[in-house]
Amino acid sequence: MMEQDMQEILFTREQLSARIKEIAAQISEDYRGKAPVVIGILRGSFIFMADLVRELDIPDMTLDFMSASSYGSGTVSSGLVDIKLDTSEPITGKDVILVEDILDTGNTLSRLVAELQKRNPASIRLCVMLDKPERRVKPIQADYTGFQIPDGFVVGCGLDYDQKYRQLEYIGILKPEIYE
């Protein structure tokens, strides 16, 4: 589906789910006996979040969502991050796991972490499906990372270009002619 728009398939659904199982095992071990709140950052994280939480073995965890936006419809991050939707429950005293599809410049997660720190959670850790370290502008690292990838316009598994391609079960690199 829509494979003709891809320059390359980076990760198949099978590769993604195998890696998600590994991350989930690590997180389950790290949070054994705890009651973390897992917060998905909409919209991009929704598929990764769904896959991840179904592999976690943390009976007392709860789930919540936030939404932030930085890109607009272009391919270059503006550096401005809007919190458009806040959590439904307070996070004071909670162990927070933020779940993101991609850590790119770091603007989004830096802003969200700074905001959430003000609310005095017990801890905050970051879990990202993809990490593009060479694009980083803010000094921020994930605690759990699916895959590190080189720069390139990635779509699928929640990631969009101009709101399209999020539903793809694989992650692909978009052909430059699609967005140039």
Binding segment (CB under 6 A) for ligand PRP, from list 20-28, 56-64, 70-78, 91-99: 70-78
Q: Is 87 in the site for ligand PRP (CB under 6 A)?
A: no
Phi-psi region of 144 (alpha: psi -120 to 50; beta: other; left: phi over 0): beta
What is the nearest approach in angstroms of ligand PRP to the Cβ of residue 142? 10
| 51 is known as an active-site residue | no
Residue nearest to ligand PRP as judged by C-beta position: 44
Site string for ligand PRP, 95-134 (x = CB under 6 A): -----xxxxxxxxx--------------------------
Kindly tell me which of 91 and 154 has the beta carbon lying closer to ligand PRP.
Answer: 154
CA atoms of 164 and 175, how far apart (whole Å): 14
Please tell me the count of residues contacting ligand PRP according to CB under 6 A: 17
Instruction: Give the sign of the dihedral formed by CA 20, CA 25, CA 26, CA 27.
Output: positive
**Angle at CA of residue 67, ends 66 and 68, nearest 5°:** 130
Q: Is 64 in the site for ligand PRP (CB under 6 A)?
A: no
Per DSSP, the chain holds a count of helices (H) and strands (E) of 4, 9
Q: Do 118 and 102 meet the contact criterion of CB atoms below 8 Å apart?
A: no
Give the residue numbers annotated as catalytic, written as ranges.
Answer: 104
